[in-house]
A and B are shown apart, each in its own frame.
Chain A
């Protein structure tokens, strides 16, 4: 019916317009600061004192990148191994396991934060004898658990499809299961793995609530076992008290803008890497 077609176009159009507005608004609000503050000082500055008009987001960029990379580093191998296990070794109960993993995405981040505080922060204090257990690596560990489902779905689907495609051929050639997995499935699934990596990195970098509960939120240059503050944490903690259209507000908008830039950059970086190696 023509009416249904029209309705679909209408809602697609609205969704597109909303997305366009978000991107445009972020860009416009995010670049207003640079009319009177140098981009160089903003990105490479190490001090964040908005009430004194000194804003540098280098500590936050580093904290965001460190936690994001740690999260992906831990969660990606787990996703790959779990996918292989589910497709090749635990054939029954496939769907149930995936449902369990997908449920992890439904758990509110505050709950993850509370658990992280109780287990990771206090674990570091008691077992590693640290004076305060808030660390970048702790944040990364918690995030890795939260983002497993995101890369798991993508990688699992990829491996399952590849298996369907090649199982008959490899059986007829008589290769062992391990050989089949290592030499055929894994190399061919690299594109799915990269997609999973980008998805989970994006999720890790955007996660706010859980991280601010266990990373200390200190505005210092971070290291693996120090406290830190992510870009998303910075915005969440300070947006409420920044007066609209003040210097502070524009600085925070620009911080958000750079968060998105980081995400897009990582995405493009990997696409470029894939094309260059002609894997696609």
Chain B
């Protein structure tokens, strides 16, 4: 009995004192998650923290990435449940006020392409679409492809979105839809990857595939021109293609040594190359 009590007390005491935190936790956007994972992979090749910076203890490098949407990324910082938030939209003023000592780091830019399947009816007609037509399609005014143009098939337009209260959709709603509501009948995909999959596997779909994923799936999804503007890196940077959103890492308070190391890698040339390889536009 006495031995057990001593054992338990020692166990409790071990928790006290400043422990080195060898893991970094990321929560948020499902678009950014693969980027952080890849950067993390490169960092983890060093195996332990002391190999990167000599005065750090010899503990394993651990990076935990959780998807759940940009909103969750912001929320996790407000609640203090994550070290970094991954956000793929602008962070609002009210959200910034709720985070203690708010810090923001831009890793790159993503855009929302308007993509269709390579065998989509619309491609026999044009590869360009206007905001007006998009509003009609997404709001349900145009229900069938022949509502868009009478020469097309009489088949339902399958609209695929992300969840309507999430970051990606908020960007689309603000820039394209304005005050008009998206129809109730849309398919809400649980992640950007699932959205892309739906477009790839069904020829009557239309949806806002992220620029990065569209690049990764060249040939399987076809991004349309919007108001005559092609979604290219140049047009996104110069603003002529304006359905775009920032890729941000947000944090609260001062960064620890390990967090600074990660951030330095992410914003270094190697990190930017990873961002670019995944199809996004790196840097500020």
Which B residue sits closest to A118, measured CB to CB?
Answer: B201
Chain A residues 230-274 with CB under 8 Å of chain B are 236-238, 240-244, 248
With A132-B187, A229-B188 known as contacts, the answer to whether A241 contacts B205 (CB < 8 A) is: no
Using a CB–CB cutoff of 8 Å, the interface residues on chain A facing chain B are 3, 47, 49-51, 117, 122, 125, 131-134, 212-213, 216-220, 227, 229, 236-238, 240-244, 248
With A3-B1, A229-B188 known as contacts, the answer to whether A240 contacts B204 (CB < 8 A) is: no
Residues of B within 8 A of A240 (CB): 68-69, 71-72, 75, 166
**B212 adjacent to chain A (CB < 8 Å):** no
The answer on a CB contact under 8 Å between A213 and B194 is yes
Partner among B69, B165, B188, B205 whose Cβ is within 8 Å of the Cβ of A132: B205
Report the Cα distance A132→B186, complex, angstroms: 11
Across the A-B interface, the 3 shortest Cβ-Cβ residue pairs = A241-B71, A240-B72, A217-B188
**B158 adjacent to chain A (CB < 8 Å):** yes
Using a CB–CB cutoff of 8 Å, the interface residues on chain B facing chain A are 1, 68-72, 75, 78-79, 155-156, 158, 163, 165-167, 181, 184-190, 194, 197, 201-202, 204-205
Can you spell out 28 A-B residue pairs with CB atoms less than 8 angstroms apart? A3-B1, A47-B184, A51-B165, A117-B197, A132-B187, A132-B205, A134-B187, A213-B190, A216-B187, A217-B187, A218-B184, A218-B186, A219-B184, A236-B190, A237-B163, A237-B166, A238-B163, A238-B165, A240-B72, A240-B166, A241-B72, A241-B163, A241-B167, A242-B71, A242-B165, A243-B75, A244-B75, A244-B78
Partner among B79, B185, B201 whose Cβ is within 8 Å of the Cβ of A220: B185
Chain B nearest CB, measured from A218 CB (Å): 5
Report the Cα distance A49→B184, complex, angstroms: 10
Report the Cα distance A227→B156, complex, angstroms: 14
Residues of B within 8 A of A244 (CB): 75, 78-79
Chain B nearest CB, measured from A25 CB (Å): 16
The answer on a CB contact under 8 Å between A241 and B204 is no
The answer on a CB contact under 8 Å between A241 and B1 is no
Residues of B within 8 A of A236 (CB): 190
Residues of A within 8 A of B70 (CB): 241
Report the Cα distance A157→B79, complex, angstroms: 46
Chain B nearest CB, measured from A187 CB (Å): 44
Chain B nearest CB, measured from A63 CB (Å): 13
The answer on a CB contact under 8 Å between A131 and B187 is no
The answer on a CB contact under 8 Å between A50 and B165 is yes
Report the Cα distance A190→B155, complex, angstroms: 48
Chain B nearest CB, measured from A252 CB (Å): 10
Report the Cα distance A3→B2, complex, angstroms: 12
Chain A nearest CB, measured from B25 CB (Å): 15
Which A residue sits closest to B1, measured CB to CB?
Answer: A3
The answer on a CB contact under 8 Å between A220 and B184 is yes
Residues of A within 8 A of B78 (CB): 244
